[in-house]
Amino acid sequence: MSTLDLETARRIVAGARAHAREAGLKPLTVVVLDGGGHVVAVEREDGSSNKRFEVGFGKAHGALSLGMGSRSLMARAEQQPFFIAAVTSAVGGALVPVPGGVLVRDAEGTLLGAVGITGDTSDNDEAAAVAGIEAAGLSAQVD
Amino acid sequence: MSTLDLETARRIVAGARAHAREAGLKPLTVVVLDGGGHVVAVEREDGSSNKRFEVGFGKAHGALSLGMGSRSLMARAEQQPFFIAAVTSAVGGALVPVPGGVLVRDAEGTLLGAVGITGDTSDNDEAAAVAGIEAAGLSAQVD
Amino acid sequence: MSTLDLETARRIVAGARAHAREAGLKPLTVVVLDGGGHVVAVEREDGSSNKRFEVGFGKAHGALSLGMGSRSLMARAEQQPFFIAAVTSAVGGALVPVPGGVLVRDAEGTLLGAVGITGDTSDNDEAAAVAGIEAAGLSAQVD
Amino acid sequence: MSTLDLETARRIVAGARAHAREAGLKPLTVVVLDGGGHVVAVEREDGSSNKRFEVGFGKAHGALSLGMGSRSLMARAEQQPFFIAAVTSAVGGALVPVPGGVLVRDAEGTLLGAVGITGDTSDNDEAAAVAGIEAAGLSAQVD
């Protein structure tokens, strides 16, 4: 498999939501993108606020834009906020530099896409993304 | 019920996709928005091209923007293309005026949200949206 | 091969330019995108005007956005100009609906990316794109 | 010579990539712009992430926008982040204020264009740009 098909994306969404409910997280929005940064599947849980899709998309899209998990984008934003602001502008506005945007790789390390989750703390969002990716039998890269 | 919850959105997506597969349609992208025009659920079938989320979103978002199915937006675009172009700009760019953006109402006629589908002909996209909405026990408004 | 690597992109550029020089075409700009719509290689020949990169990018990006060669985008624009205008807005502005944006597929039909060429007539631009793609041993989809 | 022709741009790209491979750098994206800030040549090496063209373009475009290497843009961003943010907006969004955007001058000091490189550390990106410019027999201005 060298792309992220819909069935896999649905498994990631289901796995992330199962983790969230078991861990008692707040309502989440889960966004799954293919390697090109395009939407494959989204679910916004009841109570997750209006623009949570855009936030989750920005985490995953930012991760794919620079080829690193959004946790690394946060580290860079803390060191050089002007760099992350500039890249956000350069890529068209969709880059949210806090944890919760996680790259998806297969067993050979091939990049398949990314997951962006938002709704609870950034750390909890990231943990849900990792849980979803692993539930689909794939590897998560958080930084 | 006065809003479109995730479980209902998932039923709409499943119903639309079941219709599409039964009718032999091309791969579709199905976007479900709540009454505020915000994403609740999306699925892009394998083979549906890169920007189909944006197209489906534009159909549903345009429908909600003016409170009519996107079939009526097309009729207006044929009469007054400058009006539709102006509204598209005014609403931020997401308004695609061809059939396939369908309003969702409950039994009392309350507006709950909209569905946007793209991937086959506009007429077939609209038929899949109607099928999905009815599979969820709700009413579809195409114009 | 399920992606369009740089070496392949360079072969496409070289093939398209060789065709153009042999056929006596005007100076061309050749843009090669991967399947996600992201730049892999570009060459703008001397005398090709300022914004030719943007035009070539728009042809290739538009083709990938809707999954069809830009010749089909032109046909649709002639039938429903408001639809193409709306999709252009929905995808962020980069969609140029005239021939010269050609999809690249491998022997199995897998979509690898797209080529966008501009500088001569649209028909000649398209012919150069096809020549470049075939010079790299791949298949061209113009509509 | 008072402009940056394609053959020169190709030599810069080849020189920068040769340096990068010899120095063991990560996969780079190399963008060469003419004096007007328009794309002449681009190559994105395999493994360089989705939006690296946009980042490299932003470094080179920013350098040309204010007539200084992007290393000086970084210094200014550290002193007056609001100024760089404002200029970024004023020039349309493409200005990335970290090293790796280098002005290209001929022997008489005439400005010919700029190179933007991204993929490794900013310092390594800049070193590759300088190597490419010098491999083409031209002068590099990093600040």
Q: CATH number of the domain that D131 lies in?
A: 3.30.450.150
Distance from CA of A37 to the nearest CA of C (A): 7
Task: With residue A57 as reference, give the H or E element that holds it.
Answer: helix A52-66
Tell me the pLDDT tens digit for each residue of B74-121.
Answer: 999 999 999 999 999 999 999 999 999 999 999 999 999 999 999 999
Q: Considering the domain boundaries, does residue B25 fall inside one?
A: yes
The answer to whether the CB atoms of D88 and A85 lie below 8 A apart is yes
Average pLDDT of every residue of chain A: 97
C3 touches chain A (CB under 8 A): yes
Q: Which chains touch B (3 or more CB pairs under 8 A)?
A: A, C
Tens-level pLDDT at each residue, chain C (143 residues) = 468 999 999 999 999 999 999 999 999 999 999 999 999 999 999 999 999 999 999 999 999 999 999 999 999 999 999 999 999 999 999 999 999 999 999 999 999 999 999 999 999 999 999 999 999 999 999 99
Nearest to B118 by CA among B46, B30, B18: B30
Backbone dihedral angles phi then psi of residue D100, each to the nearest 5 degrees:
125, -5
Task: Tell me what pLDDT residue B3 has.
Answer: 83
pLDDT-derived band at B1, boundaries 50, 70, 90: very low
Does D53 contact chain A (CB < 8 Å)?
no
Among residues C96, C100, C89, which one has the least CA distance to residue C129? Answer: C100
Do residues B25 and B132 lie in contact, with contact meaning Cβ atoms separated by under 8 Å?
Answer: no
Q: Which chain D residues have a beta carbon less than 8 Å from that of A36? A: 50
The pLDDT value recorded for residue C100 is 98
| CA–CA dist B136, B8 (Å, integer) | 6
- In the predicted model, what is the mean pLDDT of residues D90-99? 96
Q: What residues does B118 pair with on adjacent strands?
A: B29
Rounded Cα–Cα distance for residues D49 and A62 (Å): 11
Count of structural domains, chain A: 1
Q: For residue D2, is pLDDT > 90?
A: no
Q: Is residue C1 part of a domain?
A: no
Whether A6 and B50 lie within 8 Å, measured CB to CB: no
Structural domain includes residue D49: yes
* 0.90 surpassed by complex ipTM: yes
Domain that holds residue B110: 6-141
Q: Is A78 at the interface with chain D, CB within 8 A?
A: no
Residue type, C61: H
Query: What does chain D come to in residues?
Result: 143
**A24-67, pLDDT tens digit by residue?**
999 999 999 999 999 999 999 999 999 999 999 999 999 999 99
Which pLDDT does position A2 carry in this prediction? 61
- pLDDT higher than 50, residue B60: yes
- Select the residue of C65, C82, C89 nearest B49 (Cβ to Cβ): C65
- Please say whether the beta carbons of C103 and C68 come within 8 A: yes
Q: CA–CA separation, D118 vs D125, rounded Å?
A: 6
Task: Verify whether the Cβ–Cβ distance D44 to C39 is below 8 Å.
Answer: yes
The confidence score (pLDDT) of residue A1 equals 40
> How far apart are the CA of A18 and the nearest CA of chain D, in angstroms?
31
Query: pLDDT tens-digit profile of A70-128?
Result: 999 999 999 999 999 999 999 999 999 999 999 999 999 999 999 999 999 999 999 99
Q: Cα distance from C33 to chain B (closest Cα, Å)? A: 13
